[in-house]
Amino acid sequence: MYDVAKIRADFPILNRHVNGRPLVYLDNGASAQKPEAVIEAMNRVYREEYANVHRGLHTLSTLATEAYESVRAKLARFLGASEEEIVFTTGSTEGINLVSYAWAAPRLQAGDEIVLSVLEHHANIVPWHFLRERQGVVLKWVECDANGDLDPQAVLAAIGPRTKLVAVTHMSNVTGTVVDVATICKGAREKGVAVLVDGSQAAVHMPVNMAEIGADFYAVTGHKLYGPSGSGAIFIRRERMEQMRPFLGGGDMIREVTRDAITWNDPPMKFEAGTPGIVQQIGLGVALDYLQSLGMENVAAHERSLRDYARARLGGLNWLNVQGNSAGKGAIFSFTMQGAAHAHDISTILDKRGIAVRAGTHCAMPLLQHFGVGATCRASFGLYNTKDEVDALVSALEFARELFG
């Protein structure tokens, strides 16, 4: 059984009070809290086993290398991929930039196209703007509907003879919309077009499998997977790896260096230069162990229950405007309040009652422009949240409504 009370006990920070109230942490879409197992594992490495990886034959280096490389295998199992297709990164942003610099930049010319959806996080927009500015690449945008849903056929219809890449999120960090990326990947592959999927949100909330999705690139970030910041990975299909040049130069990504030449290491090491985030990635591995001990299907079911309950409770507030309300969305709700209350003011009032939500544009300005709003509050739920916390959110919103009149 999914025992949320027992799970909450695994997260030390959930015991604290904020402004005299029990913490209600609803900012998981920005970053999730860490279980004790992750915190203790990272402390243990620093205290007892820390050394650089891949470069030493002494005991500590061997222990650190084994622990570090074991995470690649864990990520491969978590994503339904092979170890050779997993490149360690500091998070999704670095992973997407890796693809932009190492795969797209050498291959795309002025007039070539990248298809994007309006749902994208800035991390899956800005690297492509770099190519637009520097190489004359054309960005083609696909809109979502009023509910925040993205029609995969509209994405495929946007592919033209000069389209080289489709870059699309698996789950919106603003609306929780789940995109049918498998259909997009299948259709794009039939047209000879590569697909990059931003899995930063989706991989946290549901099982994902690269064989079923069919993406060429799939980015995940550790700090949303209940692991530490500065950790993450990107899945890169083998055939795409063969087309890529190195992104950063330095140790580990080379096989041999002479005065006149260099030879690259084999992938994935070819794309991992310098001393990595050793302890961060080990922490991510423990977080993956924790998630899989719960079962991603169980996590998804718990969050669906929270989503349905929150949708009903928030839907009963006729002065609250929820942006995007897709039927199959994740447990993420972005909203504004009728009247003059700004999202920042609402967030401040909620914080005074111990409730942490996000306020602003959520690194998704094109989507907010699409909805015609300047900023929203966002409540994003995770595996440790409860229906009582939904009730606390609703009560605090009602208080804010009364305060702002």
The model's confidence at residue 119, banded by pLDDT at 50, 70 and 90, is very high
pLDDT(25) > 90? yes
- Region 241-259: mean pLDDT is 93
Q: Write down the mean pLDDT value for the chain.
A: 97
pLDDT(384) > 90? yes
Predicted pLDDT at 231: 98
The separation between CA 31 and the C-alpha centre of its own chain, rounded to angstroms, equals 9
Taking Cα atoms as reference points, which of 9, 26, 10 lies closest to residue 18? 26
Decide which of 2.40.50.100, 3.90.1150.10, 3.40.50.720, 3.30.1370.140 is the CATH code for 4-26+295-404: 3.90.1150.10
Q: What is the pLDDT of residues 79-107, one digit of tens each?
A: 999 999 999 999 999 999 999 999 999 99
Domain boundaries, the chain: 4-26+295-404, 40-292
User: Of residues 144, 185, 363, 377, which has the active-site annotation?
Assistant: 363
**Residue 218 backbone class (left: φ over 0; alpha: ψ -120 to 50; beta: rest):** beta
Q: What is the pLDDT of residues 32-70, one digit of tens each?
A: 999 999 999 999 999 999 999 998 889 999 999 999 999
The model's confidence at residue 1, banded by pLDDT at 50, 70 and 90, is confident
Percent of the chain with pLDDT strictly greater than 70: 100
- Region 389-402: mean pLDDT is 97
> Helix, strand, or coil here: 145?
coil
Inter-residue contact 137 to 114 (CB < 8 Å): yes
Contacts 24+ apart (CB under 8 A), 92-95: 92/123, 92/124, 92/198, 92/199, 92/200, 92/219, 92/220, 92/221, 92/232, 92/234, 93/123, 93/221, 94/232, 95/217, 95/219, 95/220, 95/232, 95/233, 95/234
Domain 40-292: top CATH class = alpha beta
Predicted pLDDT at 96: 98
pLDDT(193) > 80? yes
pLDDT(373) > 80? yes
Q: What is the pLDDT of residues 305-342, one digit of tens each?
A: 999 999 999 999 999 999 998 999 999 999 999 987 89
Q: Integer distance in angstroms from the first to the last C-alpha of the chain?
A: 44
Predicted pLDDT at 405: 76
pLDDT(174) > 80? yes
pLDDT(148) > 80? yes
Is 363 designated active site? Answer: yes
